[in-house]
C-alpha cells in the first residue's frame, strides 16, 4: 500500500509590474485573453486584492481618501493582503499546475513602500519574506514609461485617482526610479518599454513569455 503525498506539478507564476499609468492592467487582460485562446489554464489576480481580506485592504488603502495612513501601517496592511494572496490564491493554483498571472506582487512593495515612501529596503524585504514565505515569481515583466506619459495616460483614462495616485508626480518619479533600480538589481525581472499602442506592447509581452517559457507558451505547447 502506498500513497502520493506531494505533487511535483507546478505552474508558472508571472507578474506584471510598473508604476501607475504604464498600462499593466490592460496588458494583463490582453494576456489572459491570449492564454484562454491557447487553452492555458490560469488564474488572474490583482494586488492589493485577490482575496476577501486583500480586497478589504485595497478599499482601505486606496479608497479612503480622508484616512491618514503613515508608511509603516501602509506596509503592514499590504503585507497582510500579500500573505492571504500567497496562501489562498497563488500556492493552490501553482500546485494545480495552473499559471498564475498577477497584476503586481512584491516588486510593487519594494518600489512603492521602499523607494516611494522611503522605508528601509531591508525592512521591506524582511516583511515580504514573512508574507510570502520566500515564494518568488518565475518572471516579473516590468513595464516602463516616462512619468509624463504615465500621467497623461492616467488623465485621459477619466478614472478618478486613488489615494496613492493622488501623491502626484514627485512620488511617481521616485517609484519609477525605484523600479528601474530593481530591474537592474533583482533576478527574474525583465524590463519592457511600455510606450506605443497596447497591441504592440502586448506582442512584446507574448514574445518574452514564449522565449522564457517555450514549453508552456511556444507553438509546440499548442
For ligand TMP, the binding residues (CB under 6 A) are 20, 46-48, 62, 78, 104, 108-109, 112-113, 164-165
Cell numbers at 14, concatenated: 508571472
The smaller minimum CB distance to ligand TMP, of residues 175 and 216, is found at 175
Shortest approach of ligand TMP to residue 111 CB, angstroms?
A: 8
Choice between 31 and 216, CB closer to ligand TMP: 31
| Residue 112 vs 140, nearer CB to ligand TMP | 112
CA–CA dist 153, 38 (Å, integer): 30
- Taking the complex as a whole, the smallest distance from the CB of residue 31 to ligand TMP amounts, in Å, to 15
Burial 141-178 (b: 16+ CB within 10 A, else e): bbbbbebeebbebbeeeeeebebbbebeeebbbbbbeb
* Least CB distance to ligand TMP at residue 49 (A): 7
| Cα–Cα distance for residue pair 76/55, rounded to 1 Å | 15
The nearest distance, CB 7 to ligand TMP, in angstroms, is: 28
Please, which residue, 5 or 68, has the CB nearer to ligand TMP?
68
Place of cell 490582453: 30
The CB-of-200 to ligand TMP minimum distance in angstroms stands at 21
DSSP conformation letters of 30-62: HHHHHHHHTT--EEEEESS-SSHHHHHHHIIII
Identity of the residue, 149 or 165, whose beta carbon is nearer to ligand TMP in the bound complex: 165
Amino acid at each position: 500500500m502506498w500513497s502520493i503525498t506531494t505533487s511535483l506539478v507546478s505552474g508558472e507564476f508571472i507578474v506584471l509590474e510598473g508604476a501607475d499609468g504604464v498600462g499593466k492592467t490592460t496588458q494583463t487582460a490582453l494576456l489572459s485573453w491570449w492564454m484562454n485562446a491557447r487553452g492555458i489554464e490560469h488564474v488572474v489576480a490583482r494586488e492589493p486584492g485577490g482575496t476577501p481580506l486583500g480586497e478589504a485592504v485595497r478599499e482601505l488603502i486606496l479608497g479612503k481618501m480622508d484616512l491618514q495612513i503613515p508608511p509603516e501601517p501602509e506596509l503592514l496592511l499590504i503585507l497582510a493582503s500579500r500573505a492571504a494572496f500567497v496562501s489562498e490564491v497563488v500556492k493552490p493554483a501553482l500546485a494545480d499546475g495552473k499559471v498564475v498571472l498577477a497584476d503586481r506582487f512584491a516588486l510593487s512593495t519594494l518600489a512603492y513602500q521602499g523607494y516611494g515612501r522611503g522605508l528601509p529596503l531591508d525592512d521591506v524585504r524582511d516583511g515580504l519574506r514573512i508574507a510570502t514565505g520566500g515564494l518568488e515569481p518565475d518572471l516579473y515583466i516590468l513595464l516602463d514609461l516616462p512619468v509624463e506619459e504615465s500621467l497623461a495616460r492616467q488623465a485621459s483614462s477619466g478614472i478618478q485617482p486613488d489615494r496613492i495616485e493622488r501623491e502626484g508626480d514627485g512620488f511617481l518619479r521616485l517609484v519609477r526610479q525605484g523600479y528601474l533600480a530593481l530591474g537592474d538589481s533583482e533576478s527574474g525581472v525583465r524590463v519592457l518599454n511600455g510606450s506605443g499602442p497596447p497591441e504592440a506592447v502586448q506582442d512584446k509581452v507574448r514574445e518574452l513569455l514564449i522565449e522564457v517559457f517555450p514549453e508552456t507558451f511556444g507553438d509546440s505547447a499548442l
